[in-house]
Structure 1
C-alpha cells in the first residue's frame, strides 16, 4: 500500500486536507511515521483516524453553525405560524397569502436544517420556548401583547427578523466553506430570506405605520425605517442595522461622483457575527 499515493489522491479532491490534520509539515511527518511503524493491515485504521481528525472535527463545527441557524429558523417559523393563526391580525387577501407562504418557507428551512444536521452525524437542538413580547421569558417585554394583535407591530418585527436573518447567514457562510453542499443550501436560504425581507418592507411601505423615512425594498445606510415610539425598543431594533452603512468593500471605496453613500451602502449587505445575532434575538426566547 503506497500511503503517499493515497494522500495525494485525497489532496486532489481536497487541497486543504493537510491543514485540516495539522500543518503540512506535521501532517507529512505523521504519515511517514505511520508508514514506518505500522503493519500493513493496521494502516487503513490509522489513516482513518487521521482523516476523522481532519473531517470529523470539521463536521462538528458545521453542525454548530447549522444549529445556530436552526434556532433562528425555529423563531421565524413560530412567529409566522402564530401570526397567520391570529384572528384579524393580517388583512385578508394578498397579505395573508404572502405571510402564509413565508410561514411555509420557514418551516421548510427548519425541516432541512434538522435533516442536514442528522446527516452530518449531529443532534439538532430541540424547538425552544419563545417570548414574543421580547421579554426574555417574562412575557412583559417592550412589545407587550402587540406582536400578534397589531398589524404594524407584526410587520415591523417581521422586517427585523428577516433583515437579521439575511445578515446572520452571510456572517456564517465562511464557516461552511469546507462543505459545498451545505454552503450552497445555506446560501439558497439566505437569498430567500432576502426576498422575504424585501416583500415585507414593501408591505410596510403600503401600510405606512410605525414608519420613519422612506421604506425601500433594501436597507439604506443603517436605517431601519421603524419608529415604534419607544426609544428603548427603537434602540434594540437598531442593532440589526448597525454596520450596514459601510461604503468600502474589499478596501475599495465605492463612493464616487456618480455613486453617493446611500447607493453604495444599498449595493451590499453586511454580515453579523454569531455573537451579535445572539444578542439581538435572545429577548425572544424563554428559558
Structure 2
C-alpha cells in the first residue's frame, strides 16, 4: 500500500484511476479544478474502500497551482509512491486561425505540468529508492492530428527518456497510450464520436487496469488492447506521408464544427 496522486481525478480516466487505486488499498491525492466533484469523490472512496484521501484543488494552467501540486509530491509526510499525470483535454480547433490562448492552455496542462510534476516526483522517489510515474499519452502521438498529437508525442518521448534515466534507481516511468475511450473527454472537447465504429472504443476500466498492471511490471510503453497494439504498429510502419494523409482526413471531418477564426473555444 502507499499513496497515489492523480491529476484530472474528477472525471474520465482520472476518476477510474482513483477508484481502482483506492480499491487496491492505496491512499489517494485527488487533483483537479472542480472542488465539489473532488470532495464528493473523496467521501465516496473513503466510504467504499476505507482509504485516506486528500483533495488538492488546482488549475494546471496556473503555474502557482502546479507548484503547489509539486510541493505535495516532494512532501515527506504520507509520501507519494505513484504519480498519475492524467489531466488533459481536447482542443478541437484548427491551429491556423484558432485561439492561441487555448493552445497555450493545452501545452501547459499536457506538457508543462507533466514535466514539472514528474521532476518533483522523480526527485523525491529516487531519494527514497522506490516509486513510479505513470503518464497518460495516446495513440494520437503516432499520428498527425494537430497540437494534441504533438503534446502526446512529447509525453511518449519524454517518458521513454525518463525511464532510461531512472534505470537502476528503483523508480519506473510508464506511458499509457490508449485509443478512443468511453469517457467525458470527447463531449467536453465537442468531438463528434459518431464517425467511429463501436469496435474502435475502449472501456475506461480496461484501460486503467492495463496501465496499472504494466506499471507494476515496469513496462515503459503500455498500449491497452490488441487492436490498438496492432494500430500502433501499423502507424509506426507506414510512411509518414500516409499518416499525414489520415490527419487531413480527420480535419476534413471535423472542419464544419470548428469555431470560426474570430471566436474562442471556451475551456470549461
TM-score tier (shorter): under 0.3
Normalised by the length of structure 2, the TM-score is: 0.25
* Higher normalized strand content (fraction of residues): 2
Normalised by the length of structure 1, the TM-score is: 0.24
Give the number of the structure whose alpha-carbon radius of gyration is greater: 1
